[in-house]
Amino acid sequence: MTTMTIAKAINEGLRETLASNPKSLLMGEDIGPLGGVYRVTDGLIGEFGPDRVVDTPLAESGIIGTAIGLALRGYRPVCEIQFDGFVFPGFNQITTQLAKMHARSNGNLTVPVVIRIPYGGGIGSVEHHSESPEALFAHTAGLRIITPSNAHDAYWMVQQAVECQDPVIIFEPKRRYWLKGEVDTAAPGRAEDPFKAHVLREGTDATVVAYGPLVPVALAAANAAEEDGRSVEVIDLRSISPLDFDTVTASVQKTGRLVVAHEAPTFGGIGGEIAARISERAFHSLEAPVIRVGGFHMPYPVAKVEEDYLPDIDRILEALDRALSY
Amino acid sequence: MGTHLPSTEFDGTAVDDQREADAEAVMGEPPAQMVQLLGPDGKLGFDPVFTEYAEKVTPEVLRGLYADMAAIRRFDVEATALQRQGQLALWVPLTGQEAAQIGSGRASRPQDYIFPTYREHGVAYTRNVDLAELLRQFRGVSNGGWNPKDTNFHLYTLVLAAQTLHAVGYAMGIQRDQKLSAAHGSGEEAAVIAYFGDGASSEGDVHESMVFASSYNAPVVFFCQNNHWAISVPTNVQTRVPLSNRAKGYGFPGIRVDGNDVIAVHAVTEWALEHARQGKGPVLIEAFTYRVGAHTTADDPTKYRQSAEEDAWRAKDPLARVEKYLRAEGLADDAFFAKVKADGDELAAYVRRTTHDLETPDIRSAFANTYAEAHPLVAEELAWFEEYTAGFEGGDLPAGSSGQPAAKAGH
């Protein structure tokens, strides 16, 4: 066991990948000598050279599009998109090309491209630097979408993403990059399925599902609820596509109540998908409607008011109150 | 020509050559020089650089290039007929562009990798793609009818210019392969061709692909078929300078070649591929040609262009000039041309026969191919589908179903 930040864990995971797989390479803006704007790739260019850690021209479609070509040639590119709001120039390549290549080739071609995207708010930044666009990608078949919430998962999931034959987008909770945690770098971590949800805290009265940056918030809310005598189960989704409905269903069958929390706007979001599926799968177990906690239907607001936008402990507790009032 | 702004207006007399010359005059640049070796008159000219490459086109090779062009034109006629008869949902004709496609395709080597757009049936033919397989996409039974690994000819890409970036990435992979294999004392030199058109040249991905190719000196040849029309919009709405000039801005060579001259296209492409394979970096080739037919079978060119323009280009036909030359030089006789025609008819008959037989896939293959690895949601939806269709066994399938018996799973 080693203690490290999420950023360091990804860095170590990438280092492992580069060392063990000669076909893997990193691509992105400022990922070379600077180590990326969040220093996630710090030191890697010195160790593996500019052919393996590639500072690209400033063009997101170019990064994704050339990564597709490299993958077709047998390489395993890991692309860094600098910020969530800057993925959109590459959206066409991701959705019309990357996601569909395996299907449209009748399974003849695989494009194992990994795209790392720091996402979410809470860092007091400027426009386009705090968004949570995961639902836009989850809606696209052919992509896999994962989002680690802790250092251990970050270390392993980035390596597992590179090994996956399908394209994988990793949404990295940027405001948690400096969150420290224990990482078990011994082999058993590799056996954990990156597309399965984890029950982080057991409970009997209600379930809170969260992922990425809101996992620590959900845990804190559950602890606060416990002081009021309420036993809350917390699930870290870890994977958004595929989404582990089995784990969520089993939990709801036990607790009868479900709150889903994410930073992204609730309308058309992952929470809505979970609510719909759970209402089908566990209708007779539900004691209350599934309640969503998330962003509002507005462009991500200016930094000085983002605290009013982002779900926090109180917003989750309020949702739990509502769920438990039925 | 009172305005120098791009305009779709057509005064009924000028052909596109003239409009481009006007645009070039506006920019204060001389008209683009165009490499031409075999003119519409069937006379062979000279070029200080490319004649050396053209000399590799022996009479036998030239007869082969002619036969290829005739075959693909015959195929184009057949595919258009198949669409009209309801056997294909859509067809994208290539007539007029045979020299650009056959000349460049035949200049490539097996180890080179080709990224086409969606009209490169002639290039596909040179890469031994089964033309009946190629029709799968247009019959609606596949989104990619062939395995690119068999031919190094990638699937058609319908989102314009997206493939130009894939081509550059692939070329970056070749560079890395060469470094890895050089360490073991071996290494095959290879290059990539990215096809696109004058319309697609406006897409941002073309710009980004040229920036990346330039930055990394990637072994890629950008092959732009300027066929003068992006559906209904003429080239001068896409550009005010010859498209080949754009290479200057990226720092690599740009060459305009007579796209209806198969000898020149072959020579220029061979030079460019050699340049790329030798590690000298990318090249842009602008093949100056013309889409004689419609954009697709759903298009109506009479709404936006004059038949006089089409006639002017028909006079520059890529096949006619080769025939003139071969006959004048005594390199081919009536028997040769009769055989070419008979071979073309045989190809057409084959395509007609096999198109009828193209198997409609089972939707289960779509479930199977969405992801390369197991995916629980896909599995769940497939299970539901199986249960749902099983309910119809022995009776009629619901309207709108795949029409395949549920027992024929296969995946």
Q: Is there a catalytic annotation at residue A129?
A: yes
Condensed to tens digits (0 to 9), the pLDDT of residues A197-215 reads 999 999 999 999 999 999 9
User: Which chain A residue is nearest to residue B173, measuring alpha carbons?
Assistant: A70
Q: Do A62 and B205 touch (CB under 8 A)?
A: yes
Pick from A66, A75, A93: which is nearest to B212 by CB? A66
CB A67 within 8 A of CB B169: yes
Nearest to B176 by CA among A162, A70, A167: A70
Measured CA to CA, the distance from residue B156 to residue A73 in angstroms comes to 17
Condensed to tens digits (0 to 9), the pLDDT of residues B180-216 reads 887 776 667 999 999 999 999 999 999 999 999 999 9
Chain B residues 212-231 with a CB less than 8 Å from chain A: 212, 215
Q: In what order do the strands lie in the sheet with A76-80?
A: A53-55, A24-28, A76-80, A114-119, A168-173, A144-146, A239-241
Q: Do B208 and A141 touch (CB under 8 A)?
A: no
Pick from A71, A106, A142: which is nearest to B371 by CB? A142
Q: Residue B144's pLDDT is what?
A: 87
Q: Which two tokens stand for residue B112?
A: 């080179």
Q: Do A65 and B171 touch (CB under 8 A)?
A: no
Pick from A59, A105, A108: which is nearest to B208 by CB? A59
Q: Which two tokens stand for residue B23?
A: 């645009």
User: Which chain B residue is nearest to residue A107, measuring alpha carbons?
Assistant: B369
Q: Residue B10's pLDDT is what?
A: 37
H helices present in B59-195, as ranges: 59-84, 98-107, 121-126, 131-134, 136-139, 148-151, 162-182
Condensed to tens digits (0 to 9), the pLDDT of residues B353-400 reads 999 888 899 999 999 999 999 999 999 999 999 999 999 976 555 555
CB B162 within 8 A of CB B207: no
Q: Residue B177's pLDDT is what?
A: 95
Measured CA to CA, the distance from residue B252 to residue B264 in angstroms comes to 20
Condensed to tens digits (0 to 9), the pLDDT of residues B288-310 reads 999 999 999 999 999 999 999 99
Assigned fold of B14-357? Rossmann fold (3.40.50)
Q: Residue B274's pLDDT is what?
A: 97
Q: Where are the domains positioned within chain B?
A: 14-357, 364-410
CB A294 within 8 A of CB A274: no
Condensed to tens digits (0 to 9), the pLDDT of residues B305-329 reads 999 999 999 999 999 999 999 999 9
CA dihedral A189, A192, A194, A195 (to 10 degrees): -170
> What's chain B's average pLDDT?
90
Q: Which two tokens stand for residue B300?
A: 């109506």
Q: Is the pLDDT of residue A93 over 60?
A: yes
Q: Residue B185's pLDDT is what?
A: 65
β-sheet bridge partners, residue A171: A117
Report the gap between the CA of B137 and the closest CA in chain A (Å): 10
Q: Is the pLDDT of residue B19 over 60?
A: no
* Sequence letter at residue A111: V
CB A140 within 8 A of CB A93: no
Pick from A57, A93, A246: which is nearest to B211 by CB? A57
Q: B23 falls in which pLDDT band (50, 70, 90)?
A: low
Condensed to tens digits (0 to 9), the pLDDT of residues A282-303 reads 999 999 999 999 999 999 999 9
Q: Do A69 and B142 touch (CB under 8 A)?
A: no
Measured CA to CA, the distance from residue A223 to residue A236 in angstroms comes to 15
Condensed to tens digits (0 to 9), the pLDDT of residues B113-154 reads 999 999 999 999 999 999 999 999 999 999 988 999 999 999
Establish whether the linkage from the previous residue to A242 is cis, with ω within 30° of 0.
yes
**Which of A55, A72, A249 would best serve as a mutation to test chain B binding (most B beta carbons within 10 A)?**
A72
Report the gap between the CA of B173 and the closest CA in chain A (Å): 5
Q: Residue B181's pLDDT is what?
A: 85
Chain A neighbors of B147, CB-CB under 8 A = 105-106, 108
Measured CA to CA, the distance from residue A265 to residue A133 in angstroms comes to 9
Out of A102, A128, A129, A139, the active site residue is A129
